[in-house]
Amino acid sequence: MAGSNSQPFEVNDFSKGITDDVYDQVPATFAVLDNFLIGGDKRPYSRFGSEVENIDYPEIPTGVRVGALINYANNEKLLYQSLREIYYRNPDSFTELIGPTGNNVFSEGGIESEVSTAQWNRHVYLTSDSFPKPMKLFKDGSGEYQVRNSGLPAMTVQPTATAGNTGDQSFIYAIYYSDDYTVFALTYQTVGPITATPVSNCAAPELFPITISNIQEITNGPTDNYNVSGIKAQIYRTTNGGTFFRKVGEVANGVTTFVDSMSDATLVDTGIPLYTNDGTVDFDPPPLHKYAHVVNNTAYYAHIIDEDGESPYRIRQSVPGVPDSAPIDFVTEVDDEIKGLNSVQSIPLVFCKKYIYRLDGFFDQFGRGGTNAIRISDNAGLISNSSVVACEGSVFFFGNDGVYTSDGYKCMKVSDQLNARYKDFIKNTTKQSRIIGKFFEKERLIVWAMQTNSANLDNDAFLVLDLKWGISSEMTFTTWSGKSFRPSAIEVFNNEIMRGDTRGFILKHKENLLSDPKINIYKSASDWISETIVWTIKTIHYNFGGTFFRKMPTRVLLTIANSGNTTVQINAIRDDGRNNSACKPIRVRNDFVWGDDEFVWRTSTFIWRGAGLIEQWRRFKAKALRLATLQLVITNGFSEITNSDTLGLATISGAGNTATLTAPNKWPLNCEDYYLATEVDGYVKEYLIDSRISDTQISIIDPLNDFPSGSKKWVIRGKKKGEKLQLLGFNIHWANVSQTQETYDSSAEATGKNA
């Protein structure tokens, strides 16, 4: 049977990632690769763990879902958005970023709002799908973070020009608002549109001054963030009968009257020309909009509300170099409802429900030119603006039926192997807009937060796209997950993945962390315990080269890099679940982790600074070895953590559901979520440890009310926290069996005979 015909089946390449089609695939493809990264050697290693960003201030002040994290000015500051508010750490506690009169950043929005941001020259332009007033934020020359309305409005009340005396002269006044501000060391000026005020039949102003009155004041209501103390009304005038405007003066915001006594000669000699004299268009403020993006120093605002009402198909372009001035005539329309904006290689892209467009051309500051929307996909569509990630000369995004990429000229689906799974990812249509992605350049990964389990009501996992092996129709995807995983927001800040949580907490992933915190809203973060990161590999179905013969795999050799203590469980699945069996766990305890209170000294297996490879054979159970296909599951092993031989007998209380040690012995610090078994039934019945009440006492969960009492021997088991895996590969020892496969009609399944 097996004998001399035995041969190896080696798998040491994991670079194809996960697939839905688990039959007839190359061995480098897997059904599950959860909580792994894939190295440049094409082998998997367990993902980075996480911790709260700041143990003293772990939770955003709103106490609810973190909507967005914003990396301001390339790692200058991390900003945190929730509801209508944005916060920053100052230096550790949260400070809300508010406007000059104390208003929130956003005028509209709630926990469901999808925020859209665009950055330019250390400015952040902000909006959301709730159509708030467009805002911008920046760090001023004094080092303070500021928020302002984006752009300045036109005057809604016409100023009045009153002649000092009658005469034969006529003039036109042009008045607009301006606001000077600094960003770091540079000075910027925001300019509003012009209001023209004519006056005729008047005498020369140097003899009989002309009075401009009813100059409207800008005020902040409950939702505006204008710099009311710094805004000025700029006043320009023509010469007698002329059309060329020059500056005659200015007044501070709130001053409603200006007296002009300047002669035409002085005006020509000293007056600064009006910004529209050369044909430059009026600087209208951005409209209400859902999506914003800046590329080539030009802003684009899409799915807008303007004088025509809500316009889901309309894009308005800013004046080049002036992102918060968007003339009303700089408009382009597409044939589908807009769902997002981005760019690739300086090409603006418009993402719609069904179509994808690139924008060719642009309006210049004089209103010349225009934009053409060129359709580059008829079906890809977009389901979440926040899912669009630009990196390495391409954009990647969640489309209608898969993950897509575009170079600005065509779109290509890159997740053909995940069609069934992708439908599950996006089936909760009310939560699709919450899918959010970021590029983790250090590892060349795109990480998307998304929902995989509808029972969780929000994002609960990462989908990870690995770019190391190029762009194709079946790119390399893996997943990250965890019991406390609720990633509502992602950002990469200082080369670390930051994770905003649906419960308002801020966490960060670090390379040296081997577990996640178990988030408990009823406890201080300093009292949270660690959670095991459960890494799981499930292979495709291996038929070992054909389906004609039955196979007999007898054992498997697992090769692991010696990168730390680990416990590995290998399970074998025969013929798609007809028989499942577990091999004996591989338990490596050669390394000492400093501070590990579960470490047992003087063990013969411990070697200080042990190195090299770990290679372990595991035999498959002899029963039901004959099979057509084999799958393996490689995951954390469930094993003994510690026992009474090490820490002494425990006093068990069935009435109180507690177990107590005698001091100075202490329960392991992270024993919660492990299982306690006692000698009463031969250590068979296991009770979940619910809480470490003190160093010497723990409580357990006993739903059947059968927890024993007395002084007992005990053992704690579980999937040990803080263990990692760097898998180099595995090798299955197998042989063909002489009997060919039966047809279904004559098989045991069909005839009812015993196999």
| 658 and 589, same domain (yes or no) | no
**Amino acid letter for position 126:** L
Q: 111 with 83: CB under 8 angstroms?
A: yes
Domain residues for the domain of 227 are 160-270
Q: Which amino acid is at 182?
A: T
> Is 291 a member of any domain?
no
- Give domain status of residue 142, yes or no: no
pLDDT at 59: 98
* Whether 475 and 622 share a structural domain: no
Identify the CA nearest to 297 among candidates 322, 274, 280, 279.
322
pLDDT digits (tens, 9 = 90+) for 257-308: 999 999 999 999 999 999 999 999 999 999 999 999 999 999 999 999 999 9
- When divided into structural domains, the chain yields a total of 4
Which of the listed residues 248, 270, 292 is the one where a domain comes to its end? 270
Determine the pLDDT at residue 564: 85
Q: 687: domain CATH number?
A: 2.40.30
Same domain, 400 and 491: yes
Task: Give residue 742's pLDDT.
Answer: 55
Specify if 484 maps to a domain: yes
Is residue 130 pLDDT above 90, yes or no? yes
> Between residues 611 and 754, which one has the greater pLDDT?
611
Quote the DSSP letter at residue 454: G
d(CA 296, CA 458): 35
Indicate if 651 and 694 belong to the same structural domain.
yes
Whether 393 and 516 share a structural domain: yes
Q: How much is the pLDDT for 466?
A: 98
Share of the chain above pLDDT 70, in %: 94
Q: What is the pLDDT of residues 621-647, one digit of tens each?
A: 877 678 899 999 999 999 999 999 999
Q: Are residues 507 and 568 in the same domain?
A: no
Mean pLDDT of 320-348: 97
**Same domain (yes/no): 525, 400:** yes
Do 395 and 509 fall within a single domain? yes
**pLDDT score of 591:** 56
pLDDT given at position 611: 53
Residue 424 host element (H or E): helix 419-425
Q: State the average pLDDT over residues 511-537.
A: 96
pLDDT of 250 above 70: yes
- Check residue 408 and give its pLDDT: 97
Q: Give the pLDDT confidence score for residue 366 in this predicted structure.
A: 96
pLDDT over 90 at 596, yes or no: no
How much is the pLDDT for 754?
A: 44
Kindly tell me if the per-residue pLDDT of 597 is higher than 80. no
* Mean of pLDDT over the chain: 93
- What pLDDT does 577 receive? 84
For residue 599, pLDDT beyond 60 = no
> 527: buried, middle or exposed (CB in 10 Å: 19+, 13-18, 0-12)?
exposed
- Taking alpha carbons only, the member of 180, 190, 175 closest to residue 321 is 190
Please indicate, yes or no, whether residues 503 and 566 belong to a single structural domain of this protein. Answer: no
SS3 587: strand
In this structure, are 265 and 397 located in the same domain?
A: no
Residue 2: the pLDDT is 45
pLDDT higher than 90, residue 352: yes
Instruction: Output the six-digit token pair for 401.
Output: 């039926």
Terminal Cα-to-Cα distance of the chain (whole angstroms) = 17
**Residue in the structure block whose two tokens are 């807008």:** 304
Looking at the domain assignment, is residue 476 inside a domain? yes
In a domain, 91, yes or no: no
Q: How confident is the model at residue 1 (pLDDT cuts 50, 70, 90)?
A: very low
How many other C-beta atoms lie within 10 A of the C-beta of residue 342?
22
Helix count (H) and strand count (E) of the chain? 4, 59
Q: Is position 357 within any domain?
A: no
Q: Tell me: the pLDDT tens digits for 405-449? A: 999 999 999 999 999 999 999 988 888 999 999 999 999 999 999
At 610, list the tokens.
């042990």
Taking the CB of residue 120, how many other CB atoms lie within 10 A of it?
A: 18
Do 593 and 650 reside in the same domain of the chain? no
The least confident of 219-223, 442-446, 586-590 is 586-590
> Is 608 a residue whose pLDDT tops 50?
no
Q: What is the pLDDT of residue 328?
A: 96
CB 315 within 8 A of CB 326: no
Q: Is residue 154 part of a domain?
A: no
- What confidence tens digit (pLDDT) does each residue in 360-404 have? 999 999 999 999 999 999 999 999 999 999 999 999 999 999 999
pLDDT for 607 equals 47
pLDDT at 699 over 50: yes
Q: Are residues 432 and 520 in the same domain?
A: yes
